[in-house]
Structure 1
Amino acid sequence: MFIDRVVVRVEAGTGGSGASSFRREKFVPMGGPDGGDGGRGGDVIVRADRNLGTLLDYTYRDSWKAERGDHGSGSNKSGRSGADVVLPVPPGTVLRDAETNEFLGEVVEHGQEIIVAKGGRGGRGNAKFATATHQAPREWEPGDEGEVRSLELELKLIADVGLVGQPNAGKSTLLSVISAARPKIADYPFTTIEPNLGVVQLSGHRTFVVADIPGIIEGAHEGKGLGLQFLRHIERTRVLAFLIPIDAMDWQAEYDQLRAEIGAYSEELATKPHCVVFTKLDLLGEEYVPPIEAPDAFATVAVSAAGRTGLDAMLAAWWTELLALRRSVERPTEDAELP
């Protein structure tokens, strides 16, 4: 089951209290204060784990609490700090405070960590309150409470190419042909009810990830159909491929509608590089690329997943665009390092 949004309660550990103690030793009548400090409470940490692909585990348990710090003791012994709690999540998870909607961060790369709830500071023991004029203090401090919050985890898939189209546009069939993914395929709308990822392998050890996004219909940005439930997964894709079946009633209208839905959902998303892919070319029995006005598209191709035609040209166009994007990202970094 694909779960891409959950809310859990997280509580960091409370700090240990400081100790009020006086040194008691034979032949030392006035040993003085020796109360140690309390230990720090454990933090709650979210860590990206590339071995995970869903937030399903957090539907079985919705409350996480870090260990509290131990209290201080005599002989200036500090209490042990509480153990941290680590919540593993798939890369691409966005973290927010569920009550205030405050953005806490996002984990994108494997091993990246964010502290979402800080443990309480340990209290000071009475040894810390000793002064020249106050040599026998009995004061001590309790440990601070750890942070408590309702944490919203929202997964946004990370892919190089996102397949966008209306229901029954042939997205799942195309993904199953160009990769080893095996999404559900049937001849009725909304077959795909959860995003699917597939890795495309080209010659020369070249690979990239393609995401099959469930059908986008008119009004999806307002929540109609599967709507907002899956539009979020297009945000992290580098390139969008708008799939239009060759037997569509109006190719231009369908393309314009898809573009409008994406733009209404996110202006930033509308600026991403995109191409137009006409699917189900086998219905015509001949090679034909329908005329369409798409001046911003870097390519317009027609393919048949069933007949395995046009796929090489499509994959080559995708790879060329992805390579250009990667180089544009790397070049500023390299230029910054030049003396």
Structure 2
Amino acid sequence: MLASKQSSPSAYKRLHDYAPFHIMTSDSFHKVLHNRLVNTLCDIYVLPDDDEEDVRLRSETTVLDRVLGPVYQKVDQWLKKPDVSCLDLGSARGDWIDQMAARNPGAEFTGIDLVPSRRPPTALGPPTATFQIRDINAGLESFHGMYDVVHARNLTQGIQRWSSFIVDAADTLVSGGLALFIEWDYQIYNASKIPYKPTSPTYEPNQRAPTFQVPRSATPQVPALTHFLSSVIRASSNAGSHITAVHHLAAFVERSHQFKDIETRDIWIPVIPAPGADAQERKTATEFRTAFVGFLGSCTPLLLSHGNYTTTELSMLEDAARIEVMGGKVPIYVRFMAVTAVKK
């Protein structure tokens, strides 16, 4: 079913006019918050949208598109059908749409994000795509029953209520349409896939870095990093995000009573690979580590605004977490959860 496009003041074709921002300045889509550009449309989502974030997302996307390949093969099965349309929620720079459009040139795409797409068409040629600027927390009624596929990835920090969001996403699909939700749980794991536990930091004014109280019985720890991530969860919750719901993603999809054929897959990505890891895993870790370290800096506006940190305290914690990651003394893995489901 081909989506019938609705004219809207916020809808636009991808144009060369939307060039990257090269100066730190606010506009109708952005404001400056703690020296980073953030969106003006949704106060819940406090990660940046600037050149530095583009670099991080580019590194992250390279890895995610590869490790999630088996999941996206199922999406390709839907998109290769005639006259199909796909809605990408949280489309960011439009990379995922470009990738899928290159493999499925007959499909039509719509991207939704809080800010304009920030790069021109891919060298492969512009896909059949439109983009809209809106806060999906306000609902998706205007897209009711328009799409054969809906895709949502890494939205947790910007979702106010997951139960409502799942129902809204389902309502955009035709009967028999495919939904794909992909999120990570803001935890880190050891080589046995057991999560490292957060620890309590102790700040001393004259110390160059915070010290951490680590239980004697604990397995090898990355105390600054675990505390950093627990702070991100707390600050996101303070900002209004339903970030804690990510652990129950599949349950929210099932309890919506909108879907059938629900399948869940855990995707493990190395940040620091375990000893004896093969060459491919080491390569993935090297690539993903760049994006992961970049994420620490991306959280500055969030943690200073909603995490009860001073600039000095956050700088010390971030530096300690970065040293733990780049030092590579203990294995670190992150878990992405991918849930596919078919609309009833």
TM-score range, shorter chain: under 0.3
Whose radius of gyration is greater, 1 or 2?
A: 1
Query: How high is the TM-score relative to the length of structure 2?
Result: 0.25
TM-score normalised per structure 1: 0.25
| Larger RCO: 1 or 2 (CA < 8 Å, sep 6+) | 2
- Of Structure 1 and Structure 2, the greater helix share is in 2
